[in-house]
Amino acid sequence: MTSPDPLVEGARRAGHFLTLLATDGDAAAELLESLADVRELVFLGAGLSAVARSEARSLPPAQRAQANTRQLRLGLLRDANRSSPEGLRTWLRRAGEEILLIRSQQAIADRLEAADQERTATRAAAEASGTAAASSAATTT
């Protein structure tokens, strides 16, 4: 039997790690501790980086720029700890937390966009029925 592709395995572990991090931080820490090989840690990090970059693309411009800056800083942390499994675990925890932050920012942006669309629809309906015109005429006299 051939060993699994390390990139595929890293992406699978990244998804599993994010699920654990969002629901059970202790289990996420145990997963990281179970990976002793620097190579396994780096491939998990590659999976997390791909997720972070992909999900950050859908953020509004200001949040996307901030996410890109945080990704650069995470890269510096990774490079500073490239041969230290414990240092790489710190990098992976922070990378996972970054993805959770990106997801929360996206949820907020989605709620704001939905509220804006609702206000626009309400205003358009009021203008179409003449309510807005009558309302503004009464307040301007």
- Cα separation, 27 vs 40, whole angstroms: 17
Q: Could you tell me the residue ranges of all domains in the chain?
A: 6-140
Residue-level pLDDT at 140: 54
* Cβ contact 106:58 at 8 Å: yes
**Could you read off the pLDDT tens digit of each residue along the chain, which spans 141 residues?**
556 788 898 899 999 999 999 999 899 999 999 998 999 999 999 999 999 999 999 999 999 999 999 999 999 999 999 999 999 999 999 999 999 999 999 999 999 988 888 899 888 888 888 765 555 555 555
**Exposed, middle or buried: residue 17 (CB in 10 Å: 0-12, 13-18, 19+)?**
buried
Q: Give pTM, 2 decimals.
A: 0.79
* Cβ contact 45:99 at 8 Å: no
Residue-level pLDDT at 139: 56
Residue-level pLDDT at 138: 53
Residue-level pLDDT at 3: 62
By residue count, the chain amounts to: 141
- Cα separation, 49 vs 71, whole angstroms: 8
